[in-house]
Amino acid sequence: MAQHAHVLVIGGGIIGVSVAYYAARAGLGVTLLERHTLASGSSFGNTGLLTLCDSHPLAVPGSALKGLRWLLQGRGPLYIHPRMDARFWLWLLRFARSGSDWATFRREWAHNLALSRLSLELYRDLVEQEGLPVAWHQAGVYHVAYTPEVWEETRRLAHEAQAVGLQAYILPPAEVLARLPYVRAPVLGGVFCPNDAHADPAALVHALAERARSRGARILEGVEVLRLVRHGERVREVWTTHGVYTATWVVLAAGVWTRELAAQVGVSLALEPAKGYSLTLPRPEQAPPTALLLDEPKLAVTVLEQRLRLAGLLELSGMDARLRWARVKHMLAAAAQYLRVDTQEILGVWRGWRPCTAHGRPYIGRAPGLRNLFLATGHCTLGMTQGPATGRLIVDLILEQPTAIDVSLYAP
């Protein structure tokens, strides 16, 4: 006999766990199914930046030439594996257009910023009111620039951030080096965004899951969803490795794997996996518990308790799971060039796929043509940042309550 859940969430990353938490907090009966363990997907080894200043589209106006140069060099932060797939090239074209000019770039930034702002407010509430058991660093994020071309872009983005109402302070080189003693000179300057934060991403997912459980959510690991069965305008059954489920509401929050699951019920999503890498190294003694973005090699760096994590690269090569050692070496070389870190002792190498939509906004809302299926995915580089807001919005939609921000912006 089928098991029934009022709300059935598929996927145990930051997004699925956030939905489960807010559903349980609203008193809804919620079951979450995760095929491996919680935070085993993209939410595991990322840098855990919770950022307003970097909630803008990845494609910055004027960066097309730079992107092309990186592609031709073959060792820059961007890699595209050529393939015969019209759908992919169409996606890429639309993705590049999200930063084709400053007006479009600003509009898309504002759309993502609304979600990130709400999320940071909710994180603060979770830490301060709910006592979320996680080390939370509200220490801001620094951008550091090393070349004139990059420094110009960094400053321009700081002015754009100020124009959308964010705090972003331009710092001279001496100030950057004084605040970040493990950054190597010479730098051309930096930008400080004091309202950004960071936390260990996997610890964040586990902490939120623990709070969801304590409010009554059933969170099941090792249960894989094999098939969604559609009947008319409803998902009627969810077949899993542990039997069949029925649900009043189904929420698909399976990261990059959402595309295949949604396709089973006739929903086509313009969602592409964008592979990224991270390295975990010992924390240098002089490193304050803050986060920085090295704008030259495009690496994000966060200090997590006794570890330092570096992440970057955007590889559009489908679901190719290969961990290319040449890229790891390139990241290590960049780390040694720009930071005083010990690159001999590597504590972890990881790769994961960001779920990226073509227009750069996540999908949060009811799946087209299906009355009881919600989608919560497509957060690309911002999933950790936007998790709680996504969870809260999905639950408000289920309850048909007014939402804190205009959710139609993210309609699938």
Residue 241 C-beta: closest distance to ligand FAD, Å: 8
Of 14 and 341, which CB lies nearer to ligand FAD in the complex structure? 14
CB 258 within 8 A of CB 252: yes
Residue 138 C-beta: closest distance to ligand FAD, Å: 15
Is 381 one of the binding residues for ligand FAD (CB under 6 A)?
A: yes
Residue 367 C-beta: closest distance to ligand FAD, Å: 15
Is 379 one of the binding residues for ligand FAD (CB under 6 A)?
A: yes
Residue 292 C-beta: closest distance to ligand FAD, Å: 12
Contact region for ligand FAD (CB under 6 A) — 23-31, 41-49, 101-109, 228-236? 41-49
CA distance readout (Å), 108 to 55, 268, 334, 358, 409:
9, 22, 30, 12, 10
- Residues in contact with ligand FAD, shown as a per-residue x/- string from 239 to 278 under the rule CB under 6 A: --------------xxx-x------------------xxx
Of 177 and 291, which CB lies nearer to ligand FAD in the complex structure? 291
3-class DSSP state for residue 32? strand
Residue 370 C-beta: closest distance to ligand FAD, Å: 17
Q: Enumerate residues 298-357 that contact ligand FAD by CB under 6 A.
A: 300, 311, 352, 354-355
Dihedral in degrees, nearest 10, Cα atoms 278, 108, 383, 61:
0
3-class DSSP state for residue 121? helix
CA distance readout (Å), 202 to 17, 40, 194:
11, 8, 23
Q: Enumerate residues 10-39 that contact ligand FAD by CB under 6 A.
A: 10-16, 33-36
> Helices 383-398 and 14-25 meet at what angle, rounded to 10?
40
Task: Kindly state the helix (H) or strand (E) to which residue 204 belongs, with its residue range.
Answer: helix 201-214
Cβ partners under 8 Å of residue 363, min gap 6: 269, 271, 357, 375, 376, 377, 378, 410, 411, 412
Of 190 and 255, which CB lies nearer to ligand FAD in the complex structure? 255
**Amino acid letter, 174:** A
Of 48 and 365, which CB lies nearer to ligand FAD in the complex structure? 48
Task: Look at phi and psi of residue 247 and say left if phi exceeds 0, alpha if psi is from -120 to 50, else beta.
Answer: beta
Q: Enumerate residues 273-302 that contact ligand FAD by CB under 6 A.
A: 276-278, 300
Residues making contact with ligand FAD (CB under 6 A)? 10-16, 33-36, 40-43, 46-49, 224-225, 253-255, 257, 276-278, 300, 311, 352, 354-355, 377, 379-385
